[in-house]
């Protein structure tokens, strides 16, 4: 049986999560992720036509708050904990391209 997920796919998923995996780690995690997908496939094999899709385990809906302004954080205190700041703003490394 073909592997459920390839080494390249694992490397791609790791990159999406900004995880740097060594070659040895890729070897180890690829079958592990495959096992997780095998388990999902077991569930997918069941006939669940009569079961509504579940997005949340709790029978709770409509948790809302009123639109009332609350306290804000102190900027200086926040920026003092940032790796770098300038002119009241967070200073970050340059990013290529714009926000998706």
Partner 1 sequence: MSDRPGFGADRVWQSGSPGLGAPAGTEWEMVVGLEVHAELLTATKLFSASPNAFGGQPNTHIDPVCLGLPGTLPVLNRRAVELAIRVGLALGAEVRPSIFARKNYYYPDMPKNYQISQYDRPINTGGSLELPSGKVVGIVRAHLEEDTGKSTHVGGAGRIDDAAWSLVDYNRAGVPLLEIVSHPDLRSAAEAREYVTELRATLLAVGASDGKMEEGSLRVDANVSVRPRGSAELGTRCEVKNVNSLRSLGRALEHEARRQIDLLSSGQRVAQETRHWNEDTGRTSLLRSKEEATDYRYFPEPDLVPLVPEPALIERIRADLPLLPRQRRHRLAAAAGQSPARVALLVERGQDDLALAAVEAGATPESVLKHLEQHLADGAGALTAAGLAGLIAMEQRGELSSNQSKAVLAEMVRSGGSPSEVAQRAGFEAVAAGELAGVLERIIAEHPAEWQRLCTGDERERKKMQGFFTGQVMRATKGQANGRDVAALLEDRAGTSADSAPG
Per-residue CA distances from 42 to 36, 39, 51, 57, 62 (Å): 10, 5, 16, 20, 33
Minimum distance from residue 1 beta carbon to partner 1 (Å): 26
1, 45, 80, 97: which one contacts partner 1 (CB under 8 A)? 97
20 binding partner 1? (CB under 8 A): no
Q: Cα 20 vs. chain centroid, distance in angstroms?
A: 15
Query: Is position 43 an interface residue for partner 1 (rule: CB under 8 A)?
Result: no
Site for partner 1 contains 77 (CB under 8 A)? no
- Cα separations (Å) of 17 from 10, 14, 34, 36, 40? 11, 5, 18, 18, 21
Choose the binding region for partner 1 from 27-35, 42-50, 80-88 (rule: CB under 8 A). 80-88
Which DSSP state fits 95? -
66 near 51, Cβ under 8 Å? no
Residue of 20, 23, 56, 80 that binds partner 1 (CB under 8 A): 56
Contact residues: partner 1, CB under 8 A: 12, 16, 18, 55-56, 58, 60-73, 75, 78-79, 86-100
């Amino acid at each position: 049986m073909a592997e459920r997920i390839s080494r390249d796919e694992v490397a791609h998923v790791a990159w999406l999560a900004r995880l740097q995996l060594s070659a040895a780690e890729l070897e180890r995690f690829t079958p592990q992720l495959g096992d997780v997908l095998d388990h999902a496939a077991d569930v997918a094999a069941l006939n669940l036509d009569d079961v509504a899709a579940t997005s949340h385990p709790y029978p709770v809906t409509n948790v809302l708050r009123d639109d009332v302004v609350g306290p804000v954080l102190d900027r200086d205190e926040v920026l003092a904990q940032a790796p770098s700041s300038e002119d009241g703003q967070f200073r970050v490394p340059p990013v290529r391209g714009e926000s998706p």
